[in-house]
Amino acid sequence: MSSQRFPLLARSPRETLIDRELSWLAFNERVLELAEDEGVPLLERCRFLAIFASNLDDFFMIRVATLKRKLENGITQKNTAGYTPTELMAEISRKTEELIARQTKCFHERIMPELNSVGIEIIKWSDLNAEESAYVNQIFQEKIFPVLTPLAVDPSHPFPYISGLSLNLAVVVNQVDASEEDSKLFARVKVPSNLPRFVETSTNRTRRFIPLEQVIVANLEHLFPGMELHTHFAFRITRNADLEIEEEESEDLLASMEQELLRRKFGPAVRLEIDRDIEGELLNTLMEELGVKDHEVSRYQEPLDLTGLNRIADLDFPELKYPVFRNQVHKDLREAEPDSTEAFFDAIKRHEILLHHPYESFNSSVVRFLESAATDPHVLAIKQTLYRTSGDSPIVAALIEAAEAGKQVLAVIEIRARFDEQANVRWARKLEDAGVHVVYGLVGFKTHAKLSLVVREEFGAIRRYVHIGTGNYNPKTARMYEDFGLLSADAVLGDDINKLFNQLSGFAPQTSFSRLLVAPRTLRPGLIERIEREVTNHQAGKPSYIRIKLNSIMDEEFIEALYRASGAGVKIDLVVRGICALRAGIPGLSENITVRSVLGRFLEHSRIFHFAHGGNDELWIGSADLMHRNLDRRVEAMVNINQPDHKRMLIRALDHYLSDTSPAWIMREDGGWHHAVLGPDREPLTDFHAQVTDWYRLRE
């Protein structure tokens, strides 16, 4: 990091920046706090505990794996936050151990007793009565035993491959008729991931569940007949899942991705999860075979793998969940006849439509937009970006239908979308087979922009209809993710998005835009320029402030610019769901900056930028967070919102996020977080997403 380029950051890195990995762990700690919060419905707390566990899996697969590779390569250079890889790994180990202890305590001392009190029990094998034992043993024989495959380890059976995130049993059995020295034999039994994580023990009024691996352990004699069970324990490994593709050297990106996905399965182990009481030769053998060191072993009180708590969270106990949520059709689309594509496009043509999901239906707006385009006889072409979509995507189905009807269809598919690579490869093949023109964007850049373009012939002229948003084209996650999107027939915006699609599918590096800021060329300088303009306006006595809502911020150039603006007296409010490398409220550096984080029922995913602009409020929404990858290594798009009613809507949303009457986590001067759940008069605050849901309902 250049001290000349970023003088404020360079004066003392740990005092001016929070490390990315430690900030992410702080985010996941906030998720854990939701699981610990008795004000959250009980089964939702189970789900948050599962989310916490799943998040931690992802963190080890990507971030810890990358850090481990740095250590193996002998890298000792400090990062921008002032940590060497060795120091950072030690801090990550300390913090994750602390969080795992809290996770365990939350589950065993809080969640389980509360579940018991409402008639839901997670029990051990020893807790089963005779009737339940017989019932579960029958389930084992009929549904579990047929899919189990014990794998022995001996001179003729090498140590088996163990897939990442799989739950396994390490078993040692004694061969009764062998000598003492040769009597102990090792085997591995994989706990099937396609069976329920928790097995219901009966159909009685009290719902009782037992972890699947305990059912298998109780029946090991059926897997090893004639052998004597010596010892066993459950374990789980996490493997490096980061993909490395040299795009410039790849003649076929799709084929290269398929090869890399196969290689991912065999990535090196970065974490071994075991029962906390396990020691001895069996553990040493396992660590040696997996190449795991002592500091990479995480000890839990069983059961392992609490991602399986989603099975419990899905139980039909409405009183233990958030109230039933019903979204609405946007008011401007309600009068469009359901079977009339003409009426739907007319509604967009009358004026732009700003959508707020999940409060306003994604299916009745965005999905209908593309389904209408697929069947409308006047539509000539459809262009669509796809980053993440659902397994049975109606959007992909609409693109295929349009292509089969003879329309020109372009799909820009990002096959490198992390953990969705396999699904996107599959969609790419399916779309190509249907005659869709499939491209993979620009070499060296992920296409993360959320764009849809429909070209329609109307009275002998061409009109473009577009959608641009902050979230993915995924109807399933759109029910749980908070996002904004814009449907528009504005000619200027249509021309902008058409040019951007041409840039993605062809050769147009010098394209300029009117209503868009596009990474990697214009987004960074465009936003920095607007931050600096607020400083100039403040010095001139004009209205000035900056309000930003996003998922993450860690780009040093932006943080430096915000620190400079704060130092000049500009008020800055940030709403950051995840990673935040910026430190708020530090005298002489960031005393005019506040940072809040909102987590809850819905995942806050939208990105909003609000600049006072001397009293003429300027607002942008789009796909980009303030991260190096978004600004420098991705194609991102932000759109200027220029309709007065839409600007008011976004301003009101930001007001709500920043209100003292809205529960949130607030960053302290030391970089820690305070969970503000009491209002100015010390009254408990109503759930944030319930407040917003009520506002949309009452608006009607």
Whole-angstrom Cα distance, residue 514 to residue 492?
A: 7
| 309 and 225 within one domain | yes
The residues that bridge with 611 in the sheet, in sequence order, are 546, 618
| Residue 330, domain member (yes or no) | no
Q: CA-to-CA distance for 24 and 604, rounded, in angstroms?
A: 15
Rounded Cα–Cα distance for residues 423 and 391 (Å):
7
What is the rounded distance in angstroms from the CA atom of residue 309 to the CA atom of residue 322?
A: 17
> Within 13 Å, how many C-alpha atoms sit on residue 424's CB side?
28
At residue 698, what are phi and psi to the nearest 5 degrees?
-75, -25
656 is catalytic: no
Closest to 163 (Cα-Cα) out of 143, 130, 191 = 191
Catalytic-labelled residue, pool 330, 356, 357, 448: 448
User: Do 423 and 528 reside in the same domain of the chain?
Assistant: no
Contacts of 426 (CB under 8 A, 6+ apart): none
Would you state the pLDDT for residue 310?
Answer: 95
Q: Quick check: 353 and 486 in contact, CB under 8 A?
A: yes
**Half-sphere exposure of residue 13, counting CA atoms within 13 Å on the CB side?**
14
Residue 200 within a domain: yes
CA distances from 74 to 67, 89, 553 (A): 11, 13, 28
Bridge partners, residue 468, by sequence: 451, 486
**Cα 210 from Cα 196, distance rounded (Å):** 10
Please report whether residue 35 resides in a domain.
no
Final residue before a domain boundary, out of 457, 486, 514:
514
Same domain, 422 and 474: yes
Which of 310, 58, 24 lies closest to 165 in space, CA to CA? 58
The CATH number that applies at residue 216 is 3.30.1840.10
Q: Give CA–CA dist 230/175, Å, rounded.
A: 10
Instruction: Identify the CA nearest to 269 among candidates 348, 350, 161.
Output: 161
| pLDDT at site 419 | 53
Q: Are strands 437-439 and 184-190 parallel, antiparallel or unpaired?
A: unpaired
φ/ψ of 452, rounded to 5, equals -145, 135
- Residues 556, 641, single domain; the answer is yes
Q: Count of domains in the chain?
A: 3
Residue 600 included in any domain: yes
Q: Same domain, yes or no, for 444 and 550?
A: no
Q: How many residues does the chain have?
A: 700
Residues 557 and 686 in one domain: yes
Q: CA–CA separation, 11 vs 669, rounded Å?
A: 17
Q: Residue 164 and residue 618: Cα distance in Å, rounded? A: 47
β-strand partners of 597: 665
Q: End of a domain among 514, 543, 563?
A: 514
Question: So what's the pLDDT on residue 247?
Answer: 43
CB-count exposure of residue 453 (10 Å: 0-12, 13-18, 19+):
buried
Domain assignment of residue 146, given as a range:
130-243+270-316
Contact 582, 574 (CB under 8 A): yes
At 33 the pLDDT is 98
Q: Is residue 261 part of a domain?
A: no
- Domain co-membership, 289 together with 397: no
Q: Rounded to an integer, what distance in angstroms lies between the CA atom of residue 286 and that of residue 552?
A: 38
pLDDT given for residue 181 in this prediction:
57
Counting beta carbons within 10 angstroms of the beta carbon of residue 246, is it exposed (0 to 12), middle (13 to 18) or buried (19 or more)? exposed
Is 507 part of any domain?
A: yes
User: DSSP string covering 242-301, please?
Assistant: -----GGG-S-HHHHHHHHHHHHTTPPEEEEEEETT--SHHHHHHHHHHT--GGGEEEES
Asked if 543 and 689 sit in the same domain, the reply is yes
Neighbours of 27 (CB within 10 A): 22
Is the Cβ–Cβ distance between 486 and 357 less than 8 Å?
no
**Cis status of the peptide bond prior to 475, with omega within 30 of 0:** no
Judgement on whether residues 152 and 209 belong to the same structural domain of the protein: yes
Beta bridge partners of 603: 481
- Residue 501, in any domain of the structure: yes
Q: Which of 695, 610, 700, 613 is nearest to 646 (CA)?
A: 610
Domain co-membership, 234 together with 367: no
CA distance 338 to 351: 19
Which bin fits 682, alpha (ψ -120 to 50), beta or left (φ > 0)?
left
CATH of the domain at 601: 3.30.870.10
Same domain, 596 and 488: no
pTM of the model: 0.92
Is 135 part of any domain? Answer: yes
What pLDDT was estimated at residue 155?
A: 66
What is the C-alpha separation between 650 and 621, in angstroms, rounded? 9
> Which stretches of the chain drop beneath a pLDDT of 70?
1-5, 10, 155-156, 177-183, 203, 243-266, 389-391, 415-424, 507-509, 700
What pLDDT is attached to residue 248?
43
Same domain, 445 and 297: no
Which of 460, 488, 514 terminates a domain? The answer is: 514
User: What is the structure's pLDDT at 246?
Assistant: 45
Tokens representing 413 are 């598919």
